[in-house]
Amino acid sequence: MKKIVLGISTVLMAFNLGINLSLAADPFRKNDPRPIGNQTEAAFKSMFAQGNYKQAKQYLEQAKSQEPNEPLVYALLASLAYQDEDFTSLKTYSDKTLESAKLLSTKDALRGNLYVAVGLFLQGGHTLVTEGTFKGASKALNKLQDVLKFLDVAQKIDSQDPELNLIQGYMDLLLSLNLPFSDSTKAINQLEKQAEPRYLAYRGIAVGYKNLGQQEQALSYTEKALSEAPNHPEVLYLKAQILAEQGKKLQAENQTTTPTQLKEAQEYFTKSLGQSEQLPKRLVAQIFYEQCKNLNRIDHQSRPCDPLRDTIKDANGLWGPMANQLPQL
């Protein structure tokens, strides 16, 4: 009888564990997953594992009604609004990130404090883009002090949490790009430690090394990111950027030959733009612009890259055109 009871208990525990894992839908944690939600997880993976922003937006719209208390939903929507230069929506979703994070803090102190920091960070970003650096910098810096305070609270709860390390690493990366006397070393270390998922951590590390001018290291981590998230258009774009930068430097040293890196870069720009219809149009416009400039370096032509880019950027809608509808180079 005792064995039967023990067996039933074991089955029930396993069944409950299965249910919890199913409901958790956590893209960050393999162990002890949080109940983030299926639609939110699907949106996260569509955006960052597959590079399909268009599909991610659809999942996020569903998540708003099905998982309305998840702050990650609004943080991702804020990032899409920023891409589209929709600063009204950026403000709305930044505020919603903060509001839902405060509610979450009563149930999950780590994630709640983390996303309070994210919400404040997004609000600071909105201030900068709407008020300009001269007027908005002091306000944004004040917000940053609060961001650091809430991140510190989350760190004290669990400094090894993968979601915390990923988001803080990317925040440090953004700060290193925009603040004087700052570099990407801290961000690289943060992402190297416990950040998950690895495809996003590797990508951030690659960007960090690129910012430091360590192109070979950047290329190495880009390859790691591609091994985890094959054919991701933004990672292909990142690889193209690194190769183009290497080629540009070599061409400046010896203008009699065309470095192979420029030709390789062109290949990866093309691969990235092969998925242009699933990316925000402003991102597509920027990739196209850099491809155009790179091609000018290869064949020494003078294509009008700026107006060609603007035809993409100024088109209607949020998403890029199909690859075969991009301007001819």
Q: Residue 256: what pLDDT?
A: 77
User: To the nearest 5 percent, what fractions of the chain are helix, strand and coil?
Assistant: 75, 0, 25
Q: Which phi-psi region, left, alpha or beta, contains residue 110 (left: φ > 0; alpha: ψ -120 to 50)?
A: alpha
Closest by Cα among 285, 290, 302, 175 to 242: 290
Q: Residue 247: what pLDDT?
A: 95
**CA–CA distance, 133 with 208 (Å, rounded to integer):** 23
CB 173 within 8 A of CB 129: no
Type of residue at 260: T
- Written as six digits, the tokens of 142 are 């004040």
- Written as six digits, the tokens of 18 are 């299965």
Cis peptide before 233 (omega within 30 of 0): no
Phi, psi of 77 (to 5 degrees): -65, -35
Classified as helix, coil or strand, 72 is helix
Distance of CA 235 to the CA centre of its chain: 11
**CA–CA distance, 9 with 121 (Å, rounded to integer):** 46
Q: Residue 30: what pLDDT?
A: 87
Q: Residue 141: what pLDDT?
A: 82
Closest by Cα among 157, 68, 80, 82 to 112: 157
Give the CA distances from residue 137 to residues 98, 132, 170, in Å, rounded to whole numbers and listed in that order.
Answer: 20, 7, 20
What pTM was computed for the model? Answer: 0.88
Q: Residue 217: what pLDDT?
A: 96
- Written as six digits, the tokens of 78 are 């804020």
Q: Residue 181: what pLDDT?
A: 63
In this prediction, the residues of the chain whose per-residue pLDDT falls under 70 are 1-24, 180-181
Q: Residue 268: what pLDDT?
A: 98
**CA–CA distance, 79 with 125 (Å, rounded to integer):** 10
**CA–CA distance, 142 with 292 (Å, rounded to integer):** 40
pLDDT per residue over 16-58, tens digit each?
Answer: 333 333 345 899 998 889 999 999 999 999 999 999 999 999 9
